[in-house]
């Protein structure tokens, strides 16, 4: 009997995995985002009458986990330091954008005949944008460190927190509990959750990861990543907040440690897999019979939703002195509804207020806006590009990366790696580094070097360390067998990346040249000066400045000549 239950639960999951893979490949083949393929797949299954086959608790849990892991992944990029750096966007731009959308969309709902409280609730719900869709688009376009990507992500973080309080308001509509005390209690709980997350990151999580790194049992990182994401989500859910808030805080806990990159590489496959279930579930949730009977109204509501959100987003951007092209790109990117709308509009108290028919239309309009988001966002990006081409602005700050992607990446922070880092610091050139040995990692961090835990030989870490934005990578302790095995993939993914290896003989140098890598026979004192010279020259630093720095380092390494002080 137990096996039969397992088989019955696994069948819809297996079918959705196979169909989702086909949908993703088909979408890519015709130039669309896989998100569109997943939504269309869900709609198709509903149209074919197969929605009940996939309406299992297992599929619903996997779909919910998609948003949980997405928020966890976003949290990994938003340490408390990052939040302080982007506080103006999170706590300034975010509220202004949300307020503008709520007033405008609430006004439209009011004109449509809803009562004022209901209209405001509908307006606030529709003012939310989709973290799941937008974050994926930003990642696909490598916009995580450009102003549009950073500001959009900051706004979405504020909206995710705002959505938690909307859920509280919506839940209170169906009870006799006073709304204001419930709202205040939730605010206190959220503040306490942030405080606890900060303490756990400092006192528990960092020492735990350091212990795991010392054991060299790297496969445990997968289990730890899942544990932190799920446990943090469960903890906030257990105190009446959102699972997604806990997942976001769990990511923030790890973002405060040197282990962010390796955890991000471990969690990425789970995020992508579970998100596919979420988007398919969205498509499955749409009642086609109701929609077909009111399709003109549905199309009108969808278009109105997108147009109003573009207008209010642009107004918020202008109020923060964004240019017309930048405001255009950002407003189009955030023009869709949110996955939270499906939750809010499905709550019985909200459905009673809004009405079954209106709820179905709004849910479908949000789903259609999600499906159209890649196309709408691309249209906004192209429009902004044409505007900038017609009226170019020298050194346009909106086109400059704000979250700096340093040009040099160092794999291994032994003596040679540290010397190279010192050289880059001396010329005010940014770098990032990974080190897989926990002792060297700990010592390098203690000495002030910017280094994270990770194994550069694992291709999964290349994305989290933003290798796409680097100009040069340096292997300080390379293995030719590993480099040869990974060379084809690295050339395919990062054709513009200059790869350098530190070697100890001419024979080794020739081996690395045969796979398209530069090599340096490092015989310098201290070790690393030879590779530092090559890197600095590759970056265009004037030879005379490089020579002066090298002479200073050699003199410092050799120390004072014995007897010189006495002779003086």
| Rounded Cα gap, residues 448 and 440, in angstroms | 12
Confidence of residue 545 (pLDDT cuts 50, 70, 90): very high
Q: Taking the domain 2-390, which CATH number applies?
A: 1.20.1530.20
Q: Residue 469 corresponds to which tokens in the numbers above?
A: 């934005």
pLDDT of residue 25: 84
DSSP state of 92: I
Q: Has residue 115 got a pLDDT over 50?
A: yes
pLDDT of residue 424: 93
So where are the chain's domains?
A: 2-390, 408-559
**Contact status, residue 341 vs residue 162, Cβ threshold 8 Å:** no
pLDDT of residue 399: 53
Confidence of residue 258 (pLDDT cuts 50, 70, 90): confident
CATH number among 3.40.50.1100, 3.30.200.20, 3.40.50.300, 3.40.50.720, domain 408-559: 3.40.50.720
Residue 165's alpha-carbon distances to 115, 205, 240, in angstroms, are 20, 28, 11
pLDDT of residue 566: 40
Q: Has residue 398 got a pLDDT over 70?
A: no
Q: Has residue 309 got a pLDDT over 50?
A: yes
Q: Has residue 18 got a pLDDT over 50?
A: yes
Q: Percentage of the chain with pLDDT > 70? A: 89
| DSSP letters for 279-336 | HHHHHHT--HHHHHHTHHHHHHHHHHHHHHHHHHHHHHHHHTT--HHHHHHHHHHT-S
Q: Has residue 3 got a pLDDT over 70?
A: no
pLDDT of residue 103: 95
What rounded mean pLDDT belongs to the chain?
A: 82
Confidence of residue 177 (pLDDT cuts 50, 70, 90): low
pLDDT of residue 89: 84
Confidence of residue 178 (pLDDT cuts 50, 70, 90): low
pLDDT of residue 568: 32
Q: Which of 135-144, 341-350, 398-407 has the lowest mean pLDDT?
A: 398-407
Confidence of residue 135 (pLDDT cuts 50, 70, 90): confident
Q: Has residue 179 got a pLDDT over 70?
A: no
Compute φ and ψ for 462, nearest 5 degrees.
Answer: -65, -40
Long-range pairs for 478-484: beta carbons < 8 A, 24 or more residues apart: 478/502, 478/503, 478/512, 480/508, 480/511, 480/512, 482/457, 483/512, 483/515, 483/517, 484/515
Q: Has residue 563 got a pLDDT over 50?
A: no
Q: Has residue 375 got a pLDDT over 80?
A: yes
Is pLDDT larger for residue 180 or for residue 422? 422
Q: What is the rounded average pLDDT of the residues 108-120? A: 90
pLDDT of residue 514: 92
| Rounded Cα gap, residues 375 and 139, in angstroms | 16
Torsion from C-alpha of 100, 105, 111, 117, nearest 10 degrees:
-80
Q: What is the rounded average pLDDT of the residues 410-434? A: 92
pLDDT of residue 395: 47
Q: Has residue 160 got a pLDDT over 90?
A: no
Q: What is the rounded average pLDDT of the residues 256-273? A: 80
Is pLDDT larger for residue 564 or for residue 437? 437
Confidence of residue 71 (pLDDT cuts 50, 70, 90): confident
């Amino acid at each position: 009997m137990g096996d039969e239950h397992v088989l019955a639960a696994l069948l819809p999951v297996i079918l959705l995995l196979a169909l989702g893979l086909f949908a993703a490949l088909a979408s890519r083949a015709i130039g669309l985002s896989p998100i569109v393929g997943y939504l269309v797949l869900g709609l198709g299954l509903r149209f074919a009458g197969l929605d009940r086959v996939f309406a299992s608790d297992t599929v619903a849990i996997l779909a919910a986990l998609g948003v949980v892991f997405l928020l966890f992944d976003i949290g990994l990029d938003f340490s408390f330091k990052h939040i302080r750096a982007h506080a103006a966007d999170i706590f300034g731009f975010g509220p202004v954008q949300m307020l503008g959308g709520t007033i405008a969309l609430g006004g439209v709902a009011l004109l449509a005949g809803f009562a004022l409280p209901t209209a405001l609730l509908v307006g606030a719900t529709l003012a939310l944008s989709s973290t799941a869709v937008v974050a994926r688009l930003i990642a696909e376009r490598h916009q995580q460190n450009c102003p549009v990507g950073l500001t959009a992500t900051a706004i979405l973080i504020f909206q995710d927190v705002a959505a938690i309080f909307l859920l509280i308001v919506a839940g209170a509509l169906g009870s006799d509990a006073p709304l204001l005390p419930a709202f205040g209690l939730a605010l206190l709980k959220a503040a306490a959750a942030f405080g606890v997350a900060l303490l756990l990151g400092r006192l528990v999580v960092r020492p735990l990861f350091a212990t795991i790194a010392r054991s060299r049992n790297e496969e445990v990182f997968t289990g730890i990543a899942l544990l932190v994401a799920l446990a943090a989500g469960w903890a906030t859910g257990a105190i009446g907040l959102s699972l997604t808030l806990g997942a976001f805080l769990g990511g923030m806990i790890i973002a405060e440690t040197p282990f962010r990159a390796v955890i991000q590489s471990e969690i990425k496959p789970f995020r992508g897999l579970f998100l596919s279930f979420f988007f398919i579930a969205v498509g499955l949730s749409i009642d086609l019979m109701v929609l077909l009977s009111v399709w003109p109204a549905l199309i009108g509501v969808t278009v109105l939703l997108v147009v109003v959100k573009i207008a209010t987003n642009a107004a918020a951007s202008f109020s923060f002195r964004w240019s017309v092209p930048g405001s255009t790109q950002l407003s189009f990117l955030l023009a869709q509804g949110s996955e939270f709308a499906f939750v809010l509009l499905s709550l019985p108290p909200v459905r009673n207020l809004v009405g079954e028919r209106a709820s179905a239309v709004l849910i479908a309009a949000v789903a259609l806006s999600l499906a159209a988001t890649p196309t709408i966002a691309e249209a906004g990006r192209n429009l902004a590009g044409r505007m900038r081409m017609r009226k170019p602005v020298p050194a346009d700050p909106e086109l400059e990366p704000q979250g700096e992607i340093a040009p040099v990446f160092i794999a291994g922070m032994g003596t040679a790696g540290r010397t190279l880092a010192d050289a880059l610091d001396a010329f005010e050139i940014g770098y990032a580094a990974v080190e897989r040995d926990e002792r060297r990692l700990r010592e390098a961090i203690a000495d002030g070097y910017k280094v994270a835990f990770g194994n550069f030989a694992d291709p999964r870490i290349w994305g989290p360390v933003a290798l796409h934005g680097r100009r040069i990578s340096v292997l300080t302790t390379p293995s030719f067998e590993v480099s040869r095995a990974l060379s084809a993939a690295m050339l395919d993914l990062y054709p513009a990346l200059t790869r350098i290896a530190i070697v100890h003989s001419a024979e080794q140098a020739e081996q690395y040249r045969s796979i398209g890598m530069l090599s340096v026979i490092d015989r310098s004192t201290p070790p690393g000066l030879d590779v530092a010279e090559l890197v600095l020259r590759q970056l265009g630093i004037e030879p005379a400045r490089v020579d002066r720095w090298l002479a200073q380092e050699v003199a410092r390494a050799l120390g004072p000549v014995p007897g010189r002080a006495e002779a003086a």
